[in-house]
Amino acid sequence: MNYIYLIFVLNFITYSLSASEFFFNDDLKKNKKESIVNSSFFLVGGATYLYLDHAWWSENNNEFSFSSNNDFVYAKNLDKVGHFYGGYFTNELFNNAFLWAGSEKPLKLALRNSIIIQSVIELKDAYSPNYGFSIYDLISGAGGSYFSYLKKQSNKLNYIDIKFSYFKRSNKYWELEKERGKLASSYEFFNDYVNQTYWLTCSLNKIIDAEFLKNFNLAIGTGLDDSQFLNNSSIDGGLREYYITLDYNLKHIFRKSNNKFVKNIIYYIDYFKLPSPTIRFAPSYKLHFFYF
């Protein structure tokens, strides 16, 4: 998942700088802005490749291979949800960047860039000793990109969002990596599915017509418990967990703000689920007074 955050940082800087006349003014031609966005795409792609090649795949790279039969066993398919979010998030960021650049077809350009990134990452997985190329991972990532694309095309989907949260509650991933003879970095959270949660949110006001409820979204989340184990050097087991909670509608809460930079900050924060009281309803019931 680190490539998502590399893209996020670079596009956040590019997009936010548009709020400052010190860096950009109305005389800056559209093609120059679009060149900045395209340059960031290749810069981030190259940096991501080098980072992952060193941090993730550098050990004993294999010949091209496909994922094994445990493709639908690993992380109880939470990795597929992660790929979907990755495609969704990167497509959103590129769309914003191309809108800032004044591109004639920002949606199509963003979709192109996002799917290219998903494809490159998955092709690199094909040479990993522990993963391999997975057509289902690629479909999941492309599906997230297309979902973002469709949201921009249909007002009926504008009230649905995909969000991500991470909080280190368990060391299970690092323990299993140690059993496999690998010392994982403490920052290697992109594969730590036990501590990740993915959320589908919907505007609560669309369910119950009340002005106050415009400040909140209904959120359904899914994650993974820490009952995983090693099975012939592959990570197996674990139970999917499901949550329900209220999420903050930050865009509505800060709708009266006239500060463009603040609105940009809120816009990006809104892709991540903020802590709130949460009920886990499967595989067992548990009330979290503060879940992230």
Q: Does residue 150 register a pLDDT over 60? A: yes
Q: What is the mean pLDDT of the chain?
A: 79
Q: Does residue 128 register a pLDDT over 80? A: no
Contact 151, 158 (CB under 8 A): yes
Q: Does residue 189 register a pLDDT over 70? A: yes
* Per-residue pLDDT at 206: 75
* Per-residue pLDDT at 46: 66
Q: Does residue 21 register a pLDDT over 50? A: no
* Per-residue pLDDT at 1: 44
Q: H helices within 102-167, ranges in order? A: 106-125, 135-153
* Per-residue pLDDT at 15: 45
| Torsions phi, psi for 21 (to 5 deg) | -70, -15
Q: Does residue 80 register a pLDDT over 60? A: yes
Confidence of residue 58 (pLDDT cuts 50, 70, 90): low
Q: Does residue 19 register a pLDDT over 50? A: no
pLDDT (tens digit per residue) in 231-260: 777 778 889 999 999 999 998 889 888 888
Amino acid at 241: E
Residues across the chain: 292
Percent of the chain with pLDDT over 90: 31
* Per-residue pLDDT at 251: 86
How far is residue 283 from each of residues 239, 245, 279, 286, measured CA to CA in Å? 7, 16, 12, 10
Q: How far apart are CA 70 and CA 77, in angstroms?
A: 10
Report helix, strand or coil for 107.
helix
Q: How far apart are CA 28 and CA 4, in angstroms?
A: 28
Q: How far apart are CA 173 and CA 227, in angstroms?
A: 10
Domain ranges in the chain are: 1-158, 159-292
Amino acid at 91: N
Q: How far apart are CA 5 and CA 48, in angstroms?
A: 10
* Per-residue pLDDT at 78: 93
Q: How far apart are CA 272 and CA 290, in angstroms?
A: 15
Percent of the chain with pLDDT over 70: 75
Contact 216, 178 (CB under 8 A): no
Locate 143 and state its tokens: 């599906």
Mean pLDDT is lowest, of 45-49, 92-96, 191-195, 213-217, for: 45-49
Element (H, E) at 282: strand 276-282
Contact 223, 172 (CB under 8 A): no
